[in-house]
Amino acid sequence: MEAEERVRTTLKYLKAKFKQYYETTPLHLPPRFGRREYGFIFFDGGYIQRHLAFSSEADLYSFLRSRLPSHIYHSAAYYENPGAPTMGEKGWMGADLIFDLDADHIPGSIGMGYKGMLEAVKDQVIRLIDEFLEQDMGFKSSEMTISFSGARGYHVHVRHQKILILKSHERREIVDYITGTGLDIDFIARSEPFELKTYKERSRTLKRLRIPTPSEPGWRGRASRGILRWVDQMSGLPEEEALVEIRKLEGVGQARSAKIYDTLFKRLGREQALERVRSGVLDFLPRAGGLSIAAQGVNLMKGVTDEPVTSDIKRLIRVIGSLHGKTGLMVVPLTRDQLEDFDPLTDAIPPIYSHETIRVHIQKGIETDMMGETFNLKRGKNRVPEYLAIFLMCRGMATLVSGTHDEESEETV
């Protein structure tokens, strides 16, 4: 009964804080506000209520304060009749191009911890913006809206006029480009003739493997930089560890891995090997080994995004400025410059959350970072700052404790 009471008290407390937030904090509503569909998830149930539209911002705020949703979404698409009950009746007019990068998409993110995952996914969103959207595709920063998702990643909205009418398969091709999906390795590493050998009446053309130089545009230069990165990584490993990694390359067995290692780091040496790669030649390696290294260069430089989100022209995405119901953190708008120093565990905490401590019951021991501090919490009753308590309660890791102060069963943080 005590646990059930804590759950009810927790829900009441969170609703009150969300209401306070929406009464005092304006949202960053999307362009063409009235052409969007809106969707909501509530504290009382996990279903999403969608197919809603609002004729004015005042109507939306009135809805929020009366219904108190835990999650707020708007459509990436624009519709003639956004409030129609079926997708077929809405009249699709176009859609923003949305990129969703989440910690789950980052290779090796398991075991990093929440703070580490957030740092890793930020590095990837910076790569997405700088290398792919701006450098390769030519989008300007003024045509992009960036936001922290409120939980484990970031969203990028692109609103260039020419991409609004792209259909799903065209958007999927953009994803394939970013992730290097289907990239032909022969486009990266090409066999080219460089000498004609003649013996008696027979002629033979000698070929060498040519790769791009790092300064070339698009995927060719990117793959070259990946090859340089891989060679540099291998040069820093002890021989046995390097051989293990080289054997992981596709089509490379034990004998070939030893030959590749000997060529790169015994015959040539690190600096000469890197210089040969920079010059665009892999003729010092067997063709099969060179192709395998070129493919690894591609793998190291692939971008990251959630394909279903980007290709879905009817997707709902979080409203910027809203609260994320599973963390209590804000969906924060960011510029590219702000992204560099943005710390979600400080900068996404709503100002209305206080530093005053409140009592919570922790489900199991946890170590977490927030507001520049590390908290080591034991299972059971603890006193923690309100901003941390809300975060833990939204994540289902803690419940609010009411009643008298119990010094013996309570940890003070």
State whether 49 and 156 are in the same domain. yes
Q: Does the pLDDT of residue 408 top 50, yes or no?
A: no
* pLDDT value at residue 207: 67
State whether 57 and 166 are in the same domain. yes
- Type of residue found at 171: R
Q: Does the pLDDT of residue 384 top 50, yes or no?
A: yes
Q: Does the pLDDT of residue 80 top 70, yes or no?
A: yes
Q: Does the pLDDT of residue 403 top 80, yes or no?
A: no
Q: Does the pLDDT of residue 266 top 60, yes or no?
A: yes
> What pLDDT band is residue 410 in, cutting at 50, 70 and 90?
low
Give the span between the Cα atoms of 300 and 302, in whole angstroms: 6
> What pLDDT band is residue 104 in, cutting at 50, 70 and 90?
confident
**Which tens digits make up the pLDDT trace of 270-295?**
888 889 888 887 777 777 778 888 99
What is the domain count for the chain?
3
Say if CB 126 and CB 101 are below 8 A apart: no
Helices of type H across 266-378: 270-279, 287-300, 307-311, 336-341, 344-347
Say if CB 267 and CB 225 are below 8 A apart: no
Average pLDDT estimate for 327-343: 96
Give the span between the Cα atoms of 78 and 37, in whole angstroms: 8
State whether 237 and 253 are in the same domain. yes
Alpha carbon distances (Å) from 37 to 78, 106, 212, 306, 344: 8, 30, 46, 21, 28
Crossing angle of helices 287-300/218-235, nearest 10°?
100
Work out the number of other CB atoms within 10 angstroms of the CB of residue 300: 17
Active site annotation includes 102: yes
Active site annotation includes 100: yes
Which residues face 153 on adjacent strands? 102
The CATH number that applies at residue 59 is 3.90.920.10
Give the span between the Cα atoms of 314 and 297, in whole angstroms: 35
* pLDDT value at residue 395: 95
**C-alpha angle 163/166/170, rounded to 5°?**
115
Crossing angle of helices 218-235/270-279, nearest 10°?
170
* pLDDT value at residue 404: 37
Active site annotation includes 130: no
State whether 365 and 394 are in the same domain. yes
* pLDDT value at residue 197: 64
Q: What percent of the chain has pLDDT over 70?
A: 94
Query: For 21, what's the count of Cα atoms within 13 Å in the CB-facing half-sphere?
Result: 28
State whether 87 and 227 are in the same domain. no
State whether 227 and 336 are in the same domain. no
**Which tens digits make up the pLDDT trace of 193-217?**
666 566 666 776 666 788 889 999 9
**Which tens digits make up the pLDDT trace of 24-72?**
999 999 999 999 999 999 998 778 999 999 999 999 999 999 999 999 9
Average pLDDT estimate for 127-146: 95
* pLDDT value at residue 411: 54
From 184, 186, 306, 341, the catalytic residue? 306
Helix, strand, coil shares, percent, the chain, to 5: 45, 25, 30
* pLDDT value at residue 407: 44
State whether 224 and 367 are in the same domain. no
State whether 193 and 209 are in the same domain. yes
* pLDDT value at residue 202: 75
State whether 165 and 35 are in the same domain. yes
Q: Does the pLDDT of residue 130 top 70, yes or no?
A: yes
Residue 206 in 3-state DSSP?
Answer: strand
CA 71 to chain CA centroid, nearest Å? 19
Enclosing domain of residue 117? 29-180+305-346
**Which tens digits make up the pLDDT trace of 355-375?**
999 999 999 999 999 999 999
Q: Does the pLDDT of residue 146 top 90, yes or no?
A: yes
State whether 7 and 46 are in the same domain. no
State whether 54 and 85 are in the same domain. yes
Residue 192: phi and psi, rounded to 5, are -130, 140
Q: What is the mean pLDDT of the chain?
A: 90
From 96, 102, 104, 262, the catalytic residue? 102
State whether 372 and 323 are in the same domain. no
Strands (E), 149-289: 153-158, 190-199, 202-210
Q: What percent of the chain has pLDDT over 90?
A: 70
From 44, 96, 100, 184, the catalytic residue? 100
Give the span between the Cα atoms of 129 and 160, in whole angstroms: 14
**C-alpha angle 194/288/275, rounded to 5°?**
60
